[in-house]
């Protein structure tokens, strides 16, 4: 999805360029900003480049975001190996911006069986500290377990359950939040369950695209809680598709059921638009539902 910025608010526009599945770290970079009609909004300006991640950033002022609209343009020019390259990026200025309103627990509350099918491992700690559990047998990629849940099943600290805030593959250290009440040790048998965070993010982006395709996204007035239920249904639909092995098996049927739930929930959402930016929703700005949106099954 395009980056969205709130009208008349400061923010930061970002870009990372990849080649061969790796982030490029430019030696330097600059940016030119233009309005949707092509008028120049910002002449060429130097941007900040993160020397580790290669992320290029530029601070937008309230002047840059003074007018709402779709498809503002950023032209990035960056230098790699003495050669200057350019990258075009589109961005929007909107009246309301959504955040993800659900977690794994919301998915489990709706359909507990996906908890049991999630990626999980049981192991025994090789060390513990106030905010970590170490198991040197854990060799998954860095951050593989980040965002997941770890629970002490047996031994010291039994019954404690914490969110995993970081995982380092080389050391097998799982960081937790908040800290343990009782520090685990080598008697602690634990279970770690991977988060559905990536799938939630993907479905949120699909949901945002559907709202965008509906039109007038920059004038839409909506809070994140309004999309909670349809986003749960959409996420479970795709999780079930991930679990499906054959057509018409259990998970295929679950996926179909939750797609129907999503369609119904999404199309019956109440949305409003503040086209004149009056701060109130006039009758002609109010939409009763999203029935006219075109929904396609992926």
Partner residues linked to 59 by β-bridges? 12
Per-residue pLDDT at 295: 40
Quickly state the pLDDT bin for 294 (edges 50, 70, 90): very low
List, by residue range, all CATH 2.60.40.10 domains of the chain: 3-94
Per-residue pLDDT at 283: 61
Average pLDDT on 199-205 reads 93
Q: How far apart are CA 255 and CA 108, in angstroms?
A: 15
What share of the chain in percent tops pLDDT 90? 77
Per-residue pLDDT at 285: 52
Give helix 228-243 / helix 250-267 axis angle, nearest 10°. 160
User: Could you tell me how far CA 155 lies from the centroid of its own chain?
Assistant: 36
What is Dmax (Cα atoms) for the chain? 66
pLDDT at 292 over 50: no
pTM: 0.77
By mean pLDDT, which of 76-90, 125-139, 193-207 is the weakest?
Answer: 193-207
Is 2.60.40.10 the CATH number for 3-94? Answer: yes
Is 1.10.390 the CATH number for 119-193? Answer: no
What share of the chain in percent tops pLDDT 70? 93
List, by residue range, all CATH 2.40.30 domains of the chain: 119-193
Average pLDDT on 246-274 reads 92
For the chain, the average pLDDT equals 91
């Amino acid at each position: 999805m395009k980056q969205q910025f709130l009208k008349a608010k400061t923010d930061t526009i970002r870009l990372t360029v990849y080649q061969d599945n790796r982030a490029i770290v430019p030696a330097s970079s600059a940016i030119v900003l233009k309005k949707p009609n092509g008028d120049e909004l910002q002449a060429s300006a130097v941007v900040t480049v993160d020397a580790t991640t290669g992320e290029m950033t530029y601070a937008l002022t309230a002047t840059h975001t003074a007018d709402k609209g779709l498809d503002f343009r950023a032209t990035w020019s960056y230098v790699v190996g003495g050669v200057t390259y350019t990258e075009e990026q589109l961005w929007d200025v909107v009246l309301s911006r959504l955040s993800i309103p659900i977690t794994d627990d919301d998915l489990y509350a709706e359909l507990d069986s996906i908890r049991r099918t999630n990626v999980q491992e049981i192991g025994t700690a090789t060390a513990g500290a106030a905010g970590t559990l170490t198991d040197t047998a854990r060799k998954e990629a860095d951050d593989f377990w980040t965002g997941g849940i770890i629970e002490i099943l047996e031994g010291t600290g039994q019954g404690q359950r914490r969110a995993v805030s970081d995982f380092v593959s080389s050391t097998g250290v799982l960081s937790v939040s908040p800290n343990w009440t009782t520090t685990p040790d080598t008697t602690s048998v634990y279970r770690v369950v991977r988060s559905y965070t990536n799938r939630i993010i993907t479905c949120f982006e699909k949901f945002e695209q559907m709202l965008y395709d509906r039109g007038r996204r920059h004038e839409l007035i909506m809070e994140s809680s309004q999309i909670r239920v349809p986003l749960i249904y959409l996420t479970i639909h795709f999780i079930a598709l991930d679990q499906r092995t054959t057509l018409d098996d259990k998970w295929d049927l679950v996926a179909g059921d939750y797609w129907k739930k999503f369609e119904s929930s999404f199309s019956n959402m109440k949305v409003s638009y503040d086209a004149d930016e009056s701060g109130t929703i006039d009758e002609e700005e109010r939409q009763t539902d999203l029935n006219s949106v075109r929904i396609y099954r992926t």
